Chain A
Amino acid sequence: MSKNFVKIIVFFILIAIFIHAFSESYVSHSLTNLAYVLALGIDVGEKANLKITAQFSKATAFDSSGGSSDSSSQIVMVSGEADSIFSGINLLNSYIGKELNLAHCNVVVFSEEFAKNGIGTQIYSLINNEEVRPSTNILVSKCSAYDYLNNVRPNIEKLTIQYFDTFSITSRLTGYISNLTIGEFYNNLSSEIKAGTAILGGLNATARTESSESSTEGSTENSSSKNDSSSKLDSQNSKSSSESTSQTSEPSNVITNPEDLIAGSSSVEGERGTENIGLAVFNGDKLCGELTATEAISHLLIKNKVDSCIVSIDNPFNSSSNNSSKVELQLYPTKKSKVNVNIKDNIPHISIELKIDADILTLDENIDYKQADVLETFSRATTEYLEKEIYDYLTKVSKEYSTDIDNFGNKALAYFATSSEWKDFNWSEKFKKAEFDVNVDVTVISSLLITKT
């Protein structure tokens, strides 16, 4: 009897100890004490090293019955300047009165200006945080990160988080961007090759026009109401907007051909003020260049990260005329790309083989698309186009940017017996002199529904 009594007493004492010990951790993880960040923006700060912007959704945004119909009112933006990410987050914690939690952060946006100075510290710090998922997207914006996040208003989707989820789908279906994650970037950064990529984002034509208009109005208003404290935040915003406008193309300078198209230069107009086109290229942790939409397709075809994409080639049946028309084809890679790396005379010789099926989307008059020679002509023209584009892309990446974003170096590892031999070879330097051999085998299958015009 007394033995059981002692056991019960010990049991209750232990329960009391563990309640005391674990309750604080439990309370800190309680939903009421947390504010879930949907997206994090990092800009160059004016008074401190960086400016942190956190985007949240209002609780009403998750309510299917109620809530405002205005999508922008569902978003809450908070920003502040600090010397490091986590001191910035702490500052925002004190402002919000809750703890910012990054467990549901879907994208981390770096401004182009910030990325040029290097983002290594920020990437290591974020990966070091238990809450951040490796699958969080990484994006470099042509405008400021604040402006990018401020313009991410969900239009088709109800929540911005659903918009961020579309990155992976857009990547596989268009090839204009890649679904790049912070985990992937960290792995590349910590490897020997030290080359990384990020999604390239910017403002669309509508947002660019709005921001250029507001910057003009903002400067007038600023001079007339200098002492009005309520306009301080607006003026700051308009200032950052005007900065961003200077970074982005003027609304009139829109680019329409995919060979030159990058985020912040398209003709897209729409309620959501952001667009993602192309890739940001890093050498180490520093932004060193950009890839256009077509270059992004080339990159994704090599990396087997695209299911289908559309390319526009010169019409092979109308090439004699001065204003040659364009033909659009939908491409479907049928096999995984075959990459071989040979090292001869200390120079990497990289051969790439791609096997792609294609469908003709744009039909011309008086062409019988059933004819084998017609399809053969289209196949040849598409092959030549892709080989040239991919070769130009590889030359740009190796000679101009000197960064192996396709991880060809991993294929070369097999040629070395030990790690010291590999380090002595100095792949980063040798990659600049790499020679490429691109073989694309395009088979145009059909012209979809109409076979003769």
Chain B
Amino acid sequence: MDNTKIGNKEAIALLVTIAFNHMILSITKSIISFTGSASLLNILYVGVITIIFTCMICYFLNKFPTFDLIDISKYLGGNTLKWIIGILYVAYFIFFSGILLHIFSSSLQIIYFPLTKIFYISLFFIIGAIIACNLRHNSVYRSTLIIFPLLIISTLFLFLSDIPYYEVEKMYPIFGNGLFTTFVSGLCNMFAFQGLAYIYFMPPILKEPTKIKKIAVTSIIFSCIFLLIIIAIILFLFAGFVETDELMPIYSAAKYIEFGSFFRKMDSLFILIWIISFVSYLSITLKFSTSILKKLTNIKNSFIFTCILGFALLMVSIWPKDYSVSTNIADIVYKYSFFILVIGISFLVLLFSVIKQKIRKWFK
């Protein structure tokens, strides 16, 4: 029995955990600031578009069972394209994970560790991620299935507990900042579904690679539901979100939870769950990046790559001088990078590979 492969449920949990961490840290704020009161409508619309796009990706991936994007790139353009795509993805994963690490570490510093440097908080996460990444049997992928129910329960609990403070009317005006913003430029909110970037690398680690479509679509649906819930919490709870901005709005929402005078300060519990979830996300990112580098270099020892990538992650996380730099990168640069690499380049590689495969079949 191959213990390094993961099942469908584990794969879904993995993809949703990745999307969830982006939602609690940066994406939700960016979506609400851009589309305003139409955020819920926009996410429903973008969710449908993303499912269609995911189906197309999975259709192409199924043409190359057990191949990931690196293998497909090699098939299409040889080692050169393989290296370009590989390096681009490693840079994408490490750079933006490092930025998210900076945001999360900053939040923790403000909340719990005012006298501790961000460097040490980031280091703590990275060491945890490196250790998890090097555990046998790809256990980092499997552990997400344990965390996943916690994420569902905590998010639903947060949503239900804050109901007394909601003003549902805040979902109006229904088209928020306008029809164009909601339905045309609002398409950029597809970057909320960060799981898409990881789908390209899923087939080799799946027990049943042919079920990639089922896994990917289910994870997108779950991510969409999570996103709708989190946006609803923030939108219904905070009146002037566009005017004022919070470091982690979902944390501010958790601060509202009180049951009588006894159950207060439950935000600590949420922070604990989010820390576990974030370590899981970092481990997955390190694991994927290490796998890519291993494939590029054909070196079997992954520990050295994990340490190098962990160091790079640490450097990126301490690089932003202030909060404005990290939020700008997370909101703007991340969005463009996602569209160029994940939606654009990767899709084209898949498309041309399938065309190449068809052409070869015709000539045979």
A and B pair up: yes
CA distance A14 to B112 in the complex (A): 20
The answer to whether B113 and A413 touch across the interface, beta carbons within 8 angstroms, is no
The answer to whether B240 and A190 touch across the interface, beta carbons within 8 angstroms, is yes
The answer to whether A25 and B112 touch across the interface, beta carbons within 8 angstroms, is yes
One of B166-174, B310-318, B327-335 contacting the partner? B166-174
The answer to whether A14 and B175 touch across the interface, beta carbons within 8 angstroms, is no
Mark each residue of chain B from 170 to 187: 1 if its CB lies under 8 Å from any CB of chain A, else 0.
101111111100000000
CA distance A103 to B264 in the complex (A): 10
Mark each residue of chain A from 120 to 147: 1 if its CB lies under 8 Å from any CB of chain B, else 0.
0000100000100111000000000000
For residue A416, CB closer than 8 A to chain B, the reply is: yes
- For A, the interface residue count at a CB cutoff of 8 angstroms equals 37
The 8 Å CB contact of B255, one of A17, A134, A421, is A134
Mark each residue of chain B from 292 to 335: 1 if its CB lies under 8 Å from any CB of chain A, else 0.
00000000000000000000000000000000000000000000
The answer to whether B240 and A419 touch across the interface, beta carbons within 8 angstroms, is no
For residue B225, CB closer than 8 A to chain A, the reply is: no
For residue A276, CB closer than 8 A to chain B, the reply is: no
The answer to whether B264 and A133 touch across the interface, beta carbons within 8 angstroms, is yes
Give residues 231-281 of B contacting A (CB, 8 Å): 237-241, 243-244, 252, 255-256, 258, 261, 264-265
- Enumerate chain B residues within 8 angstroms of A165, measured Cβ to Cβ: 261
For residue A448, CB closer than 8 A to chain B, the reply is: no
The answer to whether B115 and A28 touch across the interface, beta carbons within 8 angstroms, is yes
The 8 Å CB contact of A25, one of B114, B169, B178, B179, is B114
The answer to whether A410 and B173 touch across the interface, beta carbons within 8 angstroms, is no
The answer to whether A24 and B238 touch across the interface, beta carbons within 8 angstroms, is no
For residue A407, CB closer than 8 A to chain B, the reply is: yes
For residue B117, CB closer than 8 A to chain A, the reply is: yes
For residue B127, CB closer than 8 A to chain A, the reply is: yes
The answer to whether B36 and A191 touch across the interface, beta carbons within 8 angstroms, is no
The 8 Å CB contact of A18, one of B124, B174, B238, B261, is B124
For residue B120, CB closer than 8 A to chain A, the reply is: yes
The answer to whether B244 and A24 touch across the interface, beta carbons within 8 angstroms, is no
- Enumerate chain A residues within 8 angstroms of B113, measured Cβ to Cβ: 22, 25
For residue B80, CB closer than 8 A to chain A, the reply is: no
- Enumerate chain A residues within 8 angstroms of B178, measured Cβ to Cβ: 418-420
Closest to A164 in B: B261
- Enumerate chain B residues within 8 angstroms of A188, measured Cβ to Cβ: 239
For residue B189, CB closer than 8 A to chain A, the reply is: no
CA distance A389 to B308 in the complex (A): 73
For residue B110, CB closer than 8 A to chain A, the reply is: yes
- Enumerate chain A residues within 8 angstroms of B120, measured Cβ to Cβ: 17-18, 21-22
Given contacts A413-B169, A419-B176, A420-B177, contact A190 B124 (CB under 8 A): no
- Enumerate chain B residues within 8 angstroms of A189, measured Cβ to Cβ: 240
- Enumerate chain B residues within 8 angstroms of A130, measured Cβ to Cβ: 110-111
For residue B116, CB closer than 8 A to chain A, the reply is: yes
For residue A388, CB closer than 8 A to chain B, the reply is: no
Interface residues of B, Cβ cutoff 8 Å to A: 36-37, 110-117, 120, 123-124, 127, 165, 167, 169-170, 172-179, 237-241, 243-244, 252, 255-256, 258, 261, 264-265
14 A-B residue pairs with CB within 8 Å: A21-B120, A22-B116, A22-B120, A25-B113, A25-B115, A130-B111, A133-B255, A183-B165, A190-B238, A190-B239, A190-B244, A413-B37, A417-B175, A418-B177
Other than the known A135-B264, A187-B239, A419-B178, what 15 A-B pairs have Cβ atoms closer than 8 Å?
Answer: A24-B115, A25-B112, A25-B115, A103-B265, A133-B255, A183-B255, A187-B237, A190-B239, A191-B243, A193-B239, A410-B169, A413-B170, A414-B174, A417-B175, A418-B175
